[in-house]
Amino acid sequence: MFVFQLPEIGEGVVEGEIVKWRVNEGDLISKDQPVCEVMTDKATVEITSPVSGRIGKRMGNEGQIIKVHTPILEIATSGGAPVATGHAPKHAPAPAPAPVAAPAPKTAAPVAAPVAAAPVAASAPVAPKAPGAKTLATPAVRSHARQAEVDIERLAGSGKGGRVTHADIEAAVTAPEGIKAPPALVAPAPSQGDERVKIIGLRRKIAEKMVQSYQTVPHFCYVDEVDATELYDLRKSLAELASKQGVKLTYIPFIMKALCTVFREFPTVNANMDEGAFELVVRKDVNIGIATDSPAGLFVPVVKGVQNKSILELAAELADLTERTRQGKVQLSELQGGSFTITSVGNIGGRFATPIINHPEVAILGVNQIHDRPMVYNGQIVARKMMYLSPSFDHRVIDGAVAARFVSALKAILENPASLLLELR
């Protein structure tokens, strides 16, 4: 009988979430057969069996977070004493994202392996976190904080690199009420016909990313209306030419090129926040993420070096990247390195929305439906193609006046898209 432990699944990774079991108790399996999928902060990993045999017992449910070297399966083989073993995992092609997630501009620091901490006296002081500092903690520590009703976002960790540890949570339990988390919300009373859907895997990661962004970043949204009539006509006139080259031309490539021009005047909008150093990293390249709805959830693939590509090249790359994202074939590197994000629901409908920033970026542009409206144009009431832009900004580093000027500059180009010809080289 083999006791199969969760193997090491990446440098610095100490735990993972079981998102899908591939086998059931009683199943016959062969060596190297996938037995489950585990999601970490870095990727979705396929775990394979080191031996052939029959599954005796599964230890862990889908949605449960399991530490490395914790038993997950008992596998009955032909003879032999019980042996605890691990096995090298295989990385699945679909990485775990970030909603209106996303990619960091540099590789995240590895998660420290758990270290036994010295007992903390009940009277030991609990250091509050500095304003704007990022809270570093493993999912297990965050779960511990929730159970203990401790507001982990207000703690300064004592672990390596400032990570919050289990010992910090225990110390906070006896700290003043200011460290305690608000009482948990009461679960809704059950009613006949209700269905409970467990939030696991990618949907859990998206939820965590959204909460992190909204709790870290003081958002504000600025909405302006654009007369997109000339943009509409220009795209329509070029769409047939692009189609002959096998490219579907949408409005997004025009907006991407317009952004490149505006970023030269407002470089701090094309930037990332380094929360650890509390510094704004102004990006040289324009790497624009495109929020993409897929059967597996929301991903943000990144088109890189937008400033160096033509509208036709951007359209072709955008179509390829979003299609592979929906098919689950996008690479992890293609989800990283973004400096700005566009989210568009114009093809669905609605006038405007207030998007959540794809942290650590500092702005996101909402592009909304183009619709016919009666407008006063050259002294006459005529039908015009109108569109709302609804970007959100990080108010820590972008003031309202800067945001307003940024949107006005972008609006001016989109209302006169022929000006983009001046960008040709």
Q: Which of 32, 233, 372, 399 is catalytic?
A: 399
The three state secondary structure string of the chain is CEEEECCCCCCCCCEEEEEEECCCCCCEECCCCEEEEEECCCCEEEEECCCCEEEEEECCCCCCEEECCCEEEEEECCCCCCEEECCCCEECCCCCCCCCCCCCCCCCCCCCCCCCCCCCCCCCCCCECCCCCCCECCHHHHHHHHHCCECHHHECCCCHHHECCHHHHHHHHCCCHHHECCCCCCCCCCCCCCCCCCCCHHHHHHHHHHHHHHHHCCEEECCEEEECHHHHHHHHHHHHHHHHCCCCCCCHHHHHHHHHHHHHHCHHHCEEEECCCCEEEECCCCCEEECEEECCEEECCEECCHHHCCHHHHHHHHHHHHHHHHCCCCCHHHHCCCCEEEEECCCCCCCCCCCCCCCCECEEEEECCCEEEEEEECCEEEEEEEEEECCEEECCCCCHHHHHHHHHHHHHHHHCHHHHHHHCC
Q: Which of 159-168, 258-267, 329-338 shows the highest mean pLDDT?
A: 258-267
Whether the predicted pLDDT of 370 surpasses 90 = yes
Respond yes or no: is residue 395 known to be catalytic.
Answer: yes
Place 105 in a pLDDT band, splitting at 50, 70 and 90.
very low
Average pLDDT for 291-314: 93
Give tens-digit pLDDT for 373-414.
999 999 999 999 999 999 999 999 999 999 999 999 999 999
Give tens-digit pLDDT for 164-189.
888 888 888 776 555 555 555 667 78
Superfamily of the domain at 218-423: Chloramphenicol acetyltransferase-like domain (3.30.559.10)
Respond yes or no: is residue 399 known to be catalytic.
Answer: yes
Place 330 in a pLDDT band, splitting at 50, 70 and 90.
confident
Q: Domain locations in the chain? A: 2-91, 218-423
Whether the predicted pLDDT of 113 surpasses 50 = no
Whether the predicted pLDDT of 129 surpasses 80 = no
Place 49 in a pLDDT band, splitting at 50, 70 and 90.
very high
Q: Determine the pLDDT at residue 239.
A: 95
Global pTM reads 0.67
Whether the predicted pLDDT of 101 surpasses 50 = no
CATH architecture of the domain with range 2-91: Beta Barrel (2.40)
Whether the predicted pLDDT of 285 surpasses 90 = yes
